[in-house]
Every structure is written in structure tokens, then in C-alpha cells.
Amino acid sequence: MTSSFHARNRRILSHPRISLYREILGRAIYALTAVLIFFNPFPELTAVEEISFYGAFILFLALVALKGEVRMANPLALPLGLFFAWTCIGLPFALDAGNSAHDVYAHLFKYLVIFYLLVNVFATEKRLSRLILIVIASTTVYAVVTMCHFYLILGNPLTVKLGYRLPWEIPTNVIGVLTIAALIFCLFRLLERKTALERIILAAVLFALTAATLATQTRSAIGAMIIGLIVAAPRLKKVLLLFLPLILLMAFVMPVKNRLAPGSLLNKIRTDDRINTWYIFYEMAKDHPLTGIGFGFETYQDDDLLERYNARVPDSYRRPVADKAPHNFIVDTAARTGFVGLALFLIILLRMLWTAGRLACRGRSSFVGNWSLAMLAASSAWIVQGMFENVLSGPPAIILIMIMAMTMILWNIERAEAAAPAPPGQTA
């Protein structure tokens, strides 16, 4: 009976009409996921993002039911699953269990869904190239629109940080997380473009992304960009010879040069408010070492909790009012998920970096090798900026999920190339 059931099921799934349904569903999921990624830099458009997310997720489940297969196995599957499981285990011990349960679903679960959507929908070289173009295009549109709105329409002088005190936009300090990832992708696209028109368009995009990054006047963004370019340098030597003078010229003529002066940097190191903030949230992690205070972000809004831990800060670093955000993804993860959760999250990052680095060095094709190095550079830049900013929710977190997914797509492409039969006349 079992064999006859499976045979009948295979006949049903192989029916021409079912194949047509699968193709239609696949195209719809592709379009909705592309829309979701394109609007990532525009968090105020929640309706568009929610429709595209749930539409893609529901249709993806339907496609899995018809197709009977999904790409789940990859180097990040186990550590991601363990991290998700640990956040769920910690819910009964959370200081605000309701908000933590909400954020595990509204943030972490959704990020995992987006991860697997990307891994399955953009699984080929052609589609991965399109995904990269979507990221570049959406971030460029965001950068140009934001600069025009902030400086031309609102009339802010260039001395004001891009996006300063615009509550409905991405905070100034994390704009660079988006623009630097797109900037690195754009540089690697230049390696593949041959026509003059394509190079001119990419050069204009680079100019816009660089201008937006420098206009934030954020030191962490500048440092992240430098680290990202250093990591990418082995494959971008010729491109960087042209690009670096542009960066130096723009930095020299824009107000950001004042924030990069030696005196300004030394003063920031001595008086940075983040020392107080890191101390507070580290004390929280010490008091809740296993499961943390709970995954919910609203726990940070508890003034009594912050005041109690602010009292532990040494007098030389204590501030009258504590900051309600950790400004460091390591301290943030430790505070909300404990040191066990932090260890699991670091394993995820290290596994991603290891996979990207290995593919960059040993990739069978130039596509896999080049873009794996791009992912290594982009993730390195994300980590650098994440040491000083809040990057574990919203658009910055989606950037990390996209880098992870792209790395796993490249891993799958490499596996497929390794498993393919060798061409006639060549040994495997």
C-alpha cells in the first residue's frame, strides 16, 4: 500500500497542470521576495513589507507541498536552529516574557524565514546576480532620495549628519550598514561589467553610496568601509586604484574630515558615552548569564532596570541618564540571550566567515570565488560597525541575513559544480 501510495503521489505531482502551478508559484514567490528585499531600506513602508513577506511565505509553503523539496541543509542550518531554540528556551525566564515571545516571532523567526526564502528562491548564479542588483539599486535609491530630501528639501547644511533627527527614517549611525554593503557589491560588479555604459552607471552609483556614507559623519561607518575594502583588496586592486582617490577627495571636501582629525578621535575615545552603555548591559548579562534578560527589545525601555544597573557603573563613566540601546551587538546578544546565546551567535558568524573565506580561496569558478570574497568583505564591515551601533533589528539585521543567505547560495553553487561530471577529456 505504501509503495502504491508513493507511486500515485509521484504521478499526481508530475501532472502537467501541477508543473504549471509550481512554475506560477515560483515566479510569484520570486517577485514578492524581490519586493521585500528592495524595500528593506524603507522601514516606514510596513504595509508593503508585510504583504510581500507573508505572501512569499505562504506561497513558498504551498510550493513545498507541491514540489516536495526545500533547500534546508547548509553550514548555518544547525547553529541558526540552535540559536532560535535557545531564545525559545529562555522565554519563561525573560523579564518581559510577553514582549520577548513577540520579538522572537516578529524578528528572529521572520529573519529565518527570509534566510530560507533567499536560499531557495535565488539559488542560481543568474538569480543571485539579480538579488545583488536589487540590493544595489534599492540602497542607491534610498541614498539619493534621503540626501535630496534632507539637504535640498529640508535645507539642512552639509555640516549636519545625514538623517539626523528624522525618526521615521533609518538612524544616522546605521545608514552606513546598508550603504557599505551595497558599495562593496557595486565594486565587485565592476569586475564583471565590460561596456562603457555599464561602468558609467556603476561609477555614478558608487559616488552616491560613498557620498551618503560620508555624509553620516559616522566614525564606525568609515572604519567599517576601510576594513571592508582591505578584505576585498585582493580581487579589487585595479578598481580600488580608481576608487580610493575618489573617497579621499570626497572626505577632504566634506565635513566628515573634522570628525576624523586626530584630536577629535582621541577626544571621542576618552569621552565616548558607549563605555557607560556597554558597562550597563554587561552587568545585565552577568546577572543573567544563561538565558539573559529576554529577547524582547522593549525590556531596554524599563527605566527602573536601567537606573539600577547604571548605579553600578564607576563614577568616572556614569551618566545621569542611561542609554536605552547597547550600541554593540556582542553586549546586546549577551544581555538578551545570555552568554550561551552569545556563544551560539558567534558560532553563526564564524561559520559564515569561514565558509565565505574558504570559497573565496578555493572556489571552482571565478563567480563563486569573487562573490564569496565580497560576502567576506561585507560581513567584516557589518561586524566592525556592529561593534559600535545597534544592528540586530530592522534593516541592518536584514543586511546580515542577506549576506548569510548569499554565502549559503554560493556554497550550494560550489557543491553543484563539484558534483557535476567532468567535461569530456578531463579527469574529475
Higher pLDDT, 393 or 69: 393
Q: pTM for this structure?
A: 0.90
Predicted local distance difference test score (pLDDT) of residue 408: 96
Query: Cell numbers 514582549 label which residue?
Result: 99
Q: How far apart (Å, rounded) are the C-alpha atoms in residues 78 and 312? A: 38
Predicted local distance difference test score (pLDDT) of residue 3: 59
- Average pLDDT (306-320) is 78
Please name the amino acid found at residue 194: K
Q: Are 377 and 226 in contact (CB under 8 A)?
A: no
Least confident stretch, 17-21, 53-57, 101-105:
17-21
**Residues composing the chain:** 428
Asked if residue 39 has pLDDT above 50, the reply is yes
Structure confidence by residue, pLDDT tens digits, 168-199:
668 888 899 999 999 999 999 988 777 888 88
Structure confidence by residue, pLDDT tens digits, 249-280:
777 767 666 666 565 555 555 556 777 788 88
Asked if residue 1 has pLDDT above 50, the reply is no
Q: How far apart (Å, rounded) are the C-alpha atoms in residues 287 and 338? A: 9
**Using CB atoms within 10 A of its CB, is residue 321 exposed (0-12), middle (13-18) or buried (19+)?**
exposed
Q: How far apart (Å, rounded) are the C-alpha atoms in residues 116 and 195? A: 34
- In the structure grid, which three cell numbers stand for residue 249, read together? 577627495
pLDDT interval class at 423 (50, 70, 90):
low
Q: Are 94 and 380 in contact (CB under 8 A)?
A: no
Asked if residue 5 has pLDDT above 60, the reply is no
Structure confidence by residue, pLDDT tens digits, 14-33:
556 667 777 888 899 999 99
